[in-house]
Amino acid sequence: MSTHQFYRKYMCPTSMRAIRARYDPFLQTRHRIEQLKQLGHSVDKVEFIVMGGTFMALPEEYRDYFIRNLHDALSGHTSNNIYEAVKYSERSLTKCIGITIETRPDYCMKRHLSDMLTYGCTRLEIGVQSVYEDVARDTNRGHTVKAVCESFHLAKDSGFKVVAHMMPDLPNVGLERDIEQFIEFFENPAFRPDGLKLYPTLVIRGTGLYELWKSGRYKSYSPSDLVELVARILALVPPWTRVYRVQRDIPMPLVSSGVEHGNLRELALARMKDLGIQCRDVRTREVGIQEIHHKVRPYQVELVRRDYVANGGWETFLSYEDPDQDILIGLLRLRKCSEETFRFELGGGVSIVRELHVYGSVVPVSSRDPTKFQHQGFGMLLMEEAERIAREEHGSGKIAVISGVGTRNYYRKIGYRLQGPYMVKMLK
């Protein structure tokens, strides 16, 4: 059996659904929505993740076709171009609340960012893997660490949320150097991502690393060392960063060496408990996660503010939390853009809301259930505080929001209007 056939045999569910739809974006979307409906899920809100490969390296014509059909699958309209598709998607009953695109630092430059804004993209997942130049070179990344820092700066100055893919256990690194790179990653203002996907190195047949491993020139961390490392990394994550994943969803028969457990995050959290340390990332503290895993609900909720410098700009992480129980109800990321921002809509001292999210049970757009945290008014309170900070502390005359196409009407109702890909409001 060839490597390609072997991989196909153990394909992940997402890839199998794509194959069944012959990679047609319209059919993939329609089929998945129908599946979710049949399973009893609310599909009033949809988030797309364009994953695998480097989407922005594909021809522009194909990219436009692909994104246009994602929007058309929601609205039911047949569009002639991306602008028309986005316009009709705004009014769709099934709202597109965001699009995430996986990319590389060298495909995250100004022209790529502008294209992604046109698509309605709000979050980027950028393959970083390591903060060490020698490791980037030895693993044939094809870009420098300096390019990583530049892409983070440009992306945040355009309003995007930035999720980094990092890969511990690469060749010639070692445990202590791996720990040091994550300290650097979270503390150096040139990095400081909004989110993290942690993908420990896997040895897969048919790769250069497989040959190194087979000849004894590369050895993966032991299972206990890997759990210890992940536990120590999770303890470093600041409260404004969300850990989305802790290992890749690759079937174990494909893996010759590397992660041996399918529940690495769970094992790392258990190890942290033994060590008396905590993970305080966004996901761990979410109200919904706390309700499910610990059967606790917030009691005393208050506004919490955390300020930090990142990628040339002033970041403010606003949240409503129960500090005593360390439960997070909602968050807002506000940025005073740097002077280097290239988008004309954000030039001349503009503040931008890069994310607004209230956690808890998903509530259909048409309903208002007072017991659900998403409809307790926390989003409005966060926006009011962001506008105050932008006006009084940033000295901004305008505030912008990078909004999912389907949530633009929410901002229209509170005085915002569309300018380019952003919802904007003049501040008095």
Residue 46, CA distances (Å) to 83, 408, 416 in order: 19, 14, 22
Task: Give the count of alpha carbons within 13 A of 424, CB side only.
Answer: 16
DSSP-based three-state secondary structure for 306: strand
- CA separation for the pair 35, 29 (Å, rounded): 10
- CA separation for the pair 341, 343 (Å, rounded): 6
pLDDT in tens, 163-201: 999 999 999 899 999 999 999 999 999 999 999 999 998
pTM for the structure as a whole: 0.91
- Give DSSP secondary structure letters for 225-285: HHHHHHHHHHHH--TT-EEEESS----GGGEEES---S-HHHHHHHHHHHHT----SHHHH
DSSP-based three-state secondary structure for 200: coil
Walk me through the domains of the chain, giving residue ranges and CATH numbers: 3-285 (3.80.30.10), 287-426 (3.40.630.30)
pLDDT in tens, 247-272: 877 777 778 888 877 789 999 999 99
Interacting residues of 25 by C-beta distance below 8 A, sequence separation 6+: 65, 66, 67, 69, 70, 73
Determine what percent of the chain falls in helix, strand and coil, rounding each to the nearest 5.
40, 20, 35
Task: Give the count of alpha carbons within 13 A of 291, CB side only.
Answer: 13
Mean pLDDT, the chain, as a whole number? 89
pLDDT in tens, 57-92: 999 999 999 999 999 999 999 999 999 999 999 999
pLDDT in tens, 289-309: 766 666 677 888 899 999 999
- CA separation for the pair 250, 12 (Å, rounded): 7
**Are 152 and 202 in contact, with CB atoms under 8 Å apart?**
no
